[in-house]
Copies of this chain bind each other. A is one copy, B any other.
Amino acid sequence: MSLHRIVIVGGGFAGLNAARALRGADVDVTLVDRRNFHLFQPLLYQVATGGLSPGNIAAPLRAILKRQRNCRVLLGDVVDFDLAGRKVMLADGHLGYDSLIVAAGARTSYFGQDQWASRAPGLKSIEDALDIRRRVLTAFEQAERETDAARQRALLTFVIVGGGPTGVELAGTLAEIAAHTLRREFRRIHPRDARIVLVDLALRVLGAFPEDLSHEAESKLREKGVEVRLGVKVQGVDDGGITLQVGATTELIAAETVLWAAGVQGSPLGTTLARAAGCEPDRAGRVIVQPDLTLPQHPDVFVIGDLAHCLDAREGATQGKPLPGVAPVAIQQGTYVARLIVGRLKGRPSPPPFRYFDYGNMATIGRSAAVAQLGRWKFRGLVAWLLWLFVHLMQIVRFENRVLVLWQWAWNYFTFSRSARLITEVGREKSAVQRNVTER
């Protein structure tokens, strides 16, 4: 008898953990991804700000899974699903499955204003991070050479849209780069004169955190010199900068660099899959799943991670909110689905619905400053920061990278330096900033 074939689409937290949880099971697993590596997204902002190199927060999927003999890794582009025929359609072939796990993740959402994307890059991939790194560093370089005062001001103005953990981390880090890292490196400008603005429609940053921690984070940001603008709506992003709606008036902030950390939507594969199954995705392009993470009418198809719209079972099966798109949810869903499939094969009864165990939330604002909420406990300041460092360090997949990251963190902490500060070309349309540098 041939083995039960499990195809996993996506090697992020959800997909990789599903694959690993199937270790030792008598099944035939294929993990397919467009990229050859697993990316540790929580530290992506440190690549964007020159603190770490891409290789430090990524690990080849093949290397991670090489000892798991029941699993093969395939570099491939999934384009469609044939649920009746139980096939995953690739750009250049197909894969048959008995159980399918789709964990294709999320990408940046501009809430329908996709024309802002080229002007205000998001932060979801290595290429995004290198693009942001290039824009930020190039802005300082151009400011050093600019003689027009207003234009120089715009070059030294950095607006971050979105007050979630990524936005807070970016804003805090940029403020430190301006105040410390670049200090004394320029002769005409003072990097500490840079204006860092964090804007959000909400009335507080870190909305998923307890209110007092939000306020703590906000005041820490202000201490570091970040302008925090809350209750403010983005009306437009164009070559002149970013236009905000503040109450009844509008305000233009002339800024060369605008970074987008405001929203995510499901990968386009979510919509493809939902339609193949005869349902509609939710408004954010996520696939609405059953309490056991399967698709309605398709008990052999699972959607997990950021792509899944899964109600929080802790709040009651029907009136709960969808679970947030964070790594712990993805990891737990991967493990849940793997166990469910193995249980089925052994003829065990169906397990109870997926239930997220929420350890808490943490976000860092910068040197020695973070907030964390773990169960009923709240932490702030140095303690929260050390906790953040420890938890993130321990989650990095490979020991080699863990040491590399620890060393760079220690070095950066004591010297205020950030060495991965290369302006390199990235594989995408050249931004306006870069065109200026090469063509002006």
Stretch at the interface among A195-203, A275-283, A358-366, A422-430: A422-430
Is A408 at the interface (CB under 8 A from chain B)? Answer: yes
Is A55 at the interface (CB under 8 A from chain B)? Answer: yes
The size class of the interface chain A forms with chain B is 35 or more
In whole angstroms, what is the CA distance A421 to B75 when docked? 14
B438 touches A91 (CB 8 A): yes
**Closest chain B CB from A212 CB (angstroms):** 37
**Closest chain B CB from A399 CB (angstroms):** 8
Task: Give the residue among A59, A66, A137, A422 with the most B Cβ atoms within 10 A.
Answer: A422
B408 touches A400 (CB 8 A): yes
Copies of the polypeptide in the assembly? 2
B60 touches A419 (CB 8 A): yes
Is A144 at the interface (CB under 8 A from chain B)? Answer: yes
Name the B residues within 8 Å of A403 (CB-CB): 407, 411
With known contacts A56-B53, A137-B36, A185-B62, A440–B400 Cβ distance under 8 A: no
The answer, among B74, B75, B185, B425, for a CB contact under 8 Å with A427, is: B425
Is A345 at the interface (CB under 8 A from chain B)? Answer: no
Is A37 at the interface (CB under 8 A from chain B)? Answer: yes
Is A72 at the interface (CB under 8 A from chain B)? Answer: yes
A425 touches B53 (CB 8 A): no
With known contacts A91-B440, A438-B77, A411–B421 Cβ distance under 8 A: no
A400 touches B427 (CB 8 A): no
Interface class of chain A by DSSP: mixed
Name the B residues within 8 Å of A77 (CB-CB): 437-438
Name the B residues within 8 Å of A91 (CB-CB): 438-440
Residue of B nearest to A131 (CB): B427
The answer, among B58, B186, B420, for a CB contact under 8 Å with A422, is: B58
Residue of B nearest to A73 (CB): B185
B419 touches A186 (CB 8 A): no
Name the B residues within 8 Å of A425 (CB-CB): 127, 426-428
A407 touches B408 (CB 8 A): no
With known contacts A145-B74, A422-B36, A438-B77, A62–B427 Cβ distance under 8 A: no
Apart from A58-B422, A63-B419, list 13 A-B contacts with CB within 8 A. A35-B423, A36-B422, A37-B422, A52-B55, A60-B421, A62-B185, A66-B185, A67-B184, A74-B144, A74-B145, A75-B144, A127-B424, A427-B428
Point out residues on A near B: beta carbons under 8 Å: 35-37, 52-56, 58-60, 62-63, 66-67, 72-77, 91-93, 126-127, 130, 137-138, 141-142, 144-145, 182, 184-187, 398, 400-401, 403-404, 407-408, 411, 415, 417, 419-428, 430, 437-440
